[in-house]
Amino acid sequence: MHVEVDIPSERQVPLETTIAPRADRMFLRGLEAHGHHGVFQDERLAGQRFVVDVEWWIDTAAAVHDDSLDSTLCYRELFATVAGIVTGPPCALIETLADRIVTALFESFPEMTATTVTVHKPDAPIVGSFADLGVSMSRYR
């Protein structure tokens, strides 16, 4: 049995369907801040170290073209936003903390099309030895 399939040539396919939107990945790793997040009272009182990694996707074409900070996301502002949340009002769960960060990033940086936030809690109150504990959240818009 022979089946013929009519495949349109490139000239027949609209240009916007052949080019994927530009999404360039940028990142900030290892932001450390002291926060008072946790389920237990001693975590809330004394606080502890949290480490945050952020990846974000934006179209950098304009920034590449004009080599200007005005055409891209300012990572100094991103750092301040994330650090402010970690050092800010406490929450019980690192899942909630990560969600607060993701939400604030999307609110503060409309040019951001996606992000992955990882919150590490390296000094979590666990009896025993461990290398790392954390949560990663990815969100797209």
| 80-118 pLDDT per residue, tens | 999 999 999 999 999 999 999 999 999 999 999 999 999
The helix/strand count (H/E) of the chain reads as 5, 4
Query: What pLDDT does 22 receive?
Result: 74
**For the chain, which ranges sit under pLDDT 70?**
1-21
Query: What pLDDT does 101 receive?
Result: 98
Structure tokens at 102: 């993701």
Structure tokens at 118: 């990882």
Query: What pLDDT does 16 receive?
Result: 40
Domains of the chain with bracketed CATH: 21-140 (3.30.1130.10)
**Global confidence as pTM:** 0.83
Instruction: List, by residue number, the catalytic residues.
Output: 121
User: How many Å apart are CA 116 and CA 27, to the nearest integer?
Assistant: 9
Q: How many residues does the chain have?
A: 141
**Torsion angles phi and psi, residue 96, rounded to 5:** -65, -40
